[in-house]
Amino acid sequence: MATKTTEEMMAELESSIKPYKKDYHTYSHLPATGRKKETIIGELEALKAAEESKWKNGLVSGAVYHGAQDHIDFLNEVYALTSQTNPLHTDVWPSITKFEAEVISMTANMMSAEKVNDVEDADDEVCGALSSGGTESILLAMKTYRDWAREMKGIRNPEMIVPSTAHAAFDKASQYFNIKMKRIPVDENFKADIEKTRDAITPNTIVIVGSTPSFPHGVIDPIEALSELAREEDIGFHTDACLGGFILPWAEKLGYEVPLFDFRLPGVTSISVDTHKYGYAAKGSSIILYRNPELRRYQFYTTTDWPGGLYLSPTFAGSRSGALSAAAWAAMLSIGEEGYLANTKKILEAAAVIKDGIRDIPELYLLGDALWDIAFSSKDLNIYKVMDYMGEKKWSLNGLQNPAAVHICLTLRHAQEGLPEKFITDLKSAVESTINNPGKAVDGAGRLYGMSANIPIKGVVDAFLKRFLDLLFKL
C-alpha cells in the first residue's frame, strides 16, 4: 500500500471538513446589502438536514447526550426566552443569577455537598461556579490551585500530578498557567497508580487529579486512596467528573458498584461536573465545585482601579450568554431525579449489551472495567482498520492511542431500540472485513491514528495537528 504524503492527507482532510464549498456561497466579505432572513433560515435548514442524521440515529460516540426532539424543542424555547441575557449584568438579569446559583447547588448536592456541609466542626461549605464546559472548569480549578499554593505555601514552581489517561484539558492548563505537568502512567487496568503518584509528590506539588471516569477507557480512578495522599500532604485533589458526574450518583442508586469519588471523601477539594453532557443541557455549560469558598476565591477576578469602573467576574469569560445557564437550569428541573435515574438505567443497559457482544468476538478484547464509555482493541488486527470499516457503516467512533484502541461513549442516542445489537452486528462484520482484507486501505480517521503511532517524532505530529487547525479557519 502506498503511503500518502502529508500534503495529500491535508488535501483530503480539507475536502472532508469543507464539504459545502461547491454548493454554497463562501462569504469572505460582508454582503453589500443584507440577505433576506428567510433565505438564511432556508440555508440553515438545508445544512441541518444534511448533518442531523449523522448523530440522530445514534451512530456517533458521545457528542449528543440526549437528542430527543421534545427535549431539543424545550431547550430551544428556553433559549429563545432568555437569548438577550448576560449574567455579567447582575442588576439587569437577576433571574440568571438565580438559575446559576440553583444549578450549582443542585449539582453540589448530587456530589454529596449537604452531607459534608452538615458535619459539625468541619468548615466545609461546598460551593462552585458555572463555566462554559469541562475544559474551562478544569482550567479554572488548576489556576485556582496555582494561586492558592503561591499565597498559602509560597510555591513559585508549581507541579501537578495527573494520570496519563486524564483529559487533555489538564495539559492545556499546565501550558496556559505554567504549572509543571507530571503525567503518571496508569496500571494494567488503566487506573491511576497510587504508588507512582505517591513517589511523584514533591514540596512543589499543588494538586493531584483523578478521573471518574477517564475519557479514553471509561475507567474510574482510585479516588479514595489518591485523595488521601493529597490530604496527608495538605495539597489539592481534583476529581474530574465531567463525564461521570451526572451518571455515577444515579448508577449508585441503581445498585451498580460505584466507588466513592465525591465530597464524602475528605481529601477531595474540587470536582468538575458537566451539565452539558449527561446533565442534558445545551452545549456550553459545566460546573466547577470547591469544598469551601476560601478556595474558590482564588478563581475569582476583581479589579478596583480600571477606568471602566470596578470589575469582577467569576470565570474566564466577561460577557456570556445567560441563555445557556437558563437551559441547564430548565433541563435539570424538567428531568428531575426520576428522569436521571431512568436515563442512566437505559444507558447502562445498552452498555451491558455492547460489552457482552464485544466479549463474544474472539478477535477483540475490552480495556478496563468501563460502565458505559467502552474501549476495545485487538491483539491480532489493526484496530484502526476495524474503526474505519465501522466508519463505512456510518459509525463515528473515537480512536485512542498508547495503546491503540477504539472507544464508543454511550449516550441516550445509543439506548434506542435495537441499536446496541446493530453496533455488535456491524462490529462483527467490520472485524470480518479486516480479517479478509488486511492490506486494503480504508479511508477514515484510523489512518491518522496509524500515522501518529508510526511517526516517532512528536513534533511532526504536533505540527500536522496545528496545520489542521489552520485548515478549520480557511475559507
Ligand X SMILES: Cc1ncc(COP(=O)(O)O)c(C=O)c1O
Phi, psi dihedrals of residue 289, rounded to the nearest 5° = -115, 145
Task: Tell me how far, at minimum, the Cβ of 316 lies from ligand X, in Å.
Answer: 12
Phi, psi dihedrals of residue 373, rounded to the nearest 5° = -110, 95
Phi, psi dihedrals of residue 152, rounded to the nearest 5° = -85, -30
User: Total number of residues binding ligand X (CB under 6 A)?
Assistant: 13
Report the distance separating Cα 395 and Cα 410, nearest Å.
12
* Region from 139-147, 211-219, 261-269, 308-316 binding ligand X, contact rule CB under 6 A: 211-219
Buried-state track 172-191, b at ≥16 Cβ within 10 A, e below 16: ebbeebebeebbbebeeebb
Return the sign of the alpha-carbon dihedral for residues 312, 243, 251, 227.
negative
Set of cell numbers at residue 125? 461549605
- DSSP, collapsed to helix, strand or coil, labels residue 96 as helix
Task: Tell me how far, at minimum, the Cβ of 168 lies from ligand X, in Å.
Answer: 8
Residues 21 to 40: which contact ligand X by CB under 6 A? none
Phi, psi dihedrals of residue 184, rounded to the nearest 5° = -105, 125
* Region from 39-47, 236-244, 291-299, 305-313 binding ligand X, contact rule CB under 6 A: 236-244
Task: Tell me how far, at minimum, the Cβ of 160 lies from ligand X, in Å.
Answer: 15
Report the distance separating Cα 254 and Cα 252, nearest Å.
5
**Judged by CB, which is closer to ligand X: 218, or 314?**
218
Segment holding 14, helix H or strand E: helix 6-17
**301-303/311-313 β-pairing:** antiparallel
Among 206, 208, 242, 323, binds ligand X (CB under 6 A): 242
* Region from 153-161, 207-215, 261-269, 435-443 binding ligand X, contact rule CB under 6 A: 207-215
**Judged by CB, which is closer to ligand X: 210, or 378?**
210
Torsion of CA 140, 142, 146, 149, to 10 degrees: 110
Residue 392 and residue 432 in contact, taking contact as beta carbons nearer than 8 Å = no
Task: Tell me how far, at minimum, the Cβ of 136 lies from ligand X, in Å.
Answer: 7
**405-409/373-378 β-pairing:** antiparallel
**Judged by CB, which is closer to ligand X: 169, or 374?**
169
Residue 211 in contact with ligand X, rule: CB under 6 A = yes
- DSSP, collapsed to helix, strand or coil, labels residue 469 as helix
Task: Tell me how far, at minimum, the Cβ of 67 lies from ligand X, in Å.
Answer: 16
Task: Tell me how far, at minimum, the Cβ of 189 lies from ligand X, in Å.
Answer: 17
* Region from 133-141, 143-151, 228-236, 338-346 binding ligand X, contact rule CB under 6 A: 133-141
**Judged by CB, which is closer to ligand X: 82, or 165?**
165
Task: Tell me how far, at minimum, the Cβ of 387 lies from ligand X, in Å.
Answer: 18
Among 99, 145, 215, 449, binds ligand X (CB under 6 A): 215
Beta strands in 49-88 (DSSP E): none
Task: Tell me how far, at minimum, the Cβ of 94 lies from ligand X, in Å.
Answer: 27
CA 423 vs CA 350, 359, 397, 445: distances in Å: 10, 13, 11, 18
Q: Which residues contact 189 (CB under 8 A, 6 or more apart)?
A: 219, 368, 369
Set of cell numbers at residue 191? 487506573
Report the distance separating Cα 423 and Cα 357, nearest Å.
9
Among 61, 82, 107, 135, binds ligand X (CB under 6 A): 135
**Judged by CB, which is closer to ligand X: 10, or 64?**
64
Residues 278 to 307: which contact ligand X by CB under 6 A? 286
Task: Tell me how far, at minimum, the Cβ of 2 lies from ligand X, in Å.
Answer: 35
* Region from 37-45, 132-140, 229-237, 249-257 binding ligand X, contact rule CB under 6 A: 132-140
Residue 167 in contact with ligand X, rule: CB under 6 A = yes
* Region from 16-24, 239-247, 336-344, 419-427 binding ligand X, contact rule CB under 6 A: 239-247
Task: Tell me how far, at minimum, the Cβ of 213 lies from ligand X, in Å.
Answer: 7
Name the residue type at position 144: T
HSE-up (13 A, CA, CB side) for residue 280:
27
Report the distance separating Cα 115 and Cα 336, nearest Å.
20
Task: Tell me how far, at minimum, the Cβ of 167 lies from ligand X, in Å.
Answer: 4
Report the distance separating Cα 444 and Cα 425, nearest Å.
20
* Region from 141-149, 240-248, 326-334, 462-470 binding ligand X, contact rule CB under 6 A: 240-248
Task: Tell me how far, at minimum, the Cβ of 432 lies from ligand X, in Å.
Answer: 31
Among 200, 274, 324, 431, binds ligand X (CB under 6 A): 274
Among 130, 223, 235, 243, binds ligand X (CB under 6 A): 243
Among 67, 87, 128, 134, binds ligand X (CB under 6 A): 134
Binding-site ranges for ligand X (CB under 6 A): 133-135, 167, 169, 211, 214-215, 240, 242-243, 274, 286
